[in-house]
Amino acid sequence: MTIEISSSLMCADLLNLESEILKLEKAGTDMFHMDIMDGHFVNNLALSIDLLKAIRSVSTTPLEAHLMVENPLDYIEKAKKAGADTISVHLESTPHIHKALKEVRECNMKAGIAINPGTSHLLIEPLLEETDFILTMAVNPGFAGQEFIKSTVNKVYKINKMLEENNLTNIKIEVDGNINSETIPPLYNAGARIFVGGTSGIFFGDRNYERNIDNLKNSIK
């Protein structure tokens, strides 16, 4: 089975974003990952709904809105109107996570549930029927360039086993945080199939995106 690479636009050159998007598409990215932050759920501000709309105007590549916000229900319809294809909502961000996931689907988008490194995979089991993919954080959310949390591999394995036991293998596991050619193979073997590429996998060195994305995809033998 092949893997999918989602390029994290938070790590792109925002002063030349249209050019970056075209280069990443030519290099073979499968989707774009947009971290939308409010400065509260995570102590940082990143991309916005308005920027998502601008990106959609120049690209047909699938767009994933990763909501790192305290009130995700306030963002779902706006993200849909701006052009998002999928939305991932953090389990930790709202007591109404079931409602949020359901609303994403009602807006005809794929719904993902995101979990932080310190969140048990067992907490997502009641939500699987409302979920199209599971975004597992391999770093604490909010900032690029963090060290990979090794226990993520075991968490992905447990999530994959849980999906198999519930006959829900159609749900894909995505991993975000320090994704590179060394961290992908153990995560893949554990069951992950979508990988968010940032500063350690795509946006580094001379930023040869075609070579870097090829290296990520070819890390699975």
- Report, as residue numbers or ranges, the catalytic residues: 35, 176
For residue 36, is it left (φ>0), alpha (ψ between -120 and 50) or beta?
A: beta
- Least Cα distance to 3 among 181, 147, 209 occurs for 181
Q: What is the DSSP string of 192-205?
A: --EEEE-TTTTSST
Cα dihedral angle (115, 121, 125, 128), rounded to 10 degrees? 40
Rg (CA), the chain: 16
- Rounded CA separation 112/72 (Å): 12
- Rounded CA separation 130/79 (Å): 19
Name the DSSP letter for residue 59: -
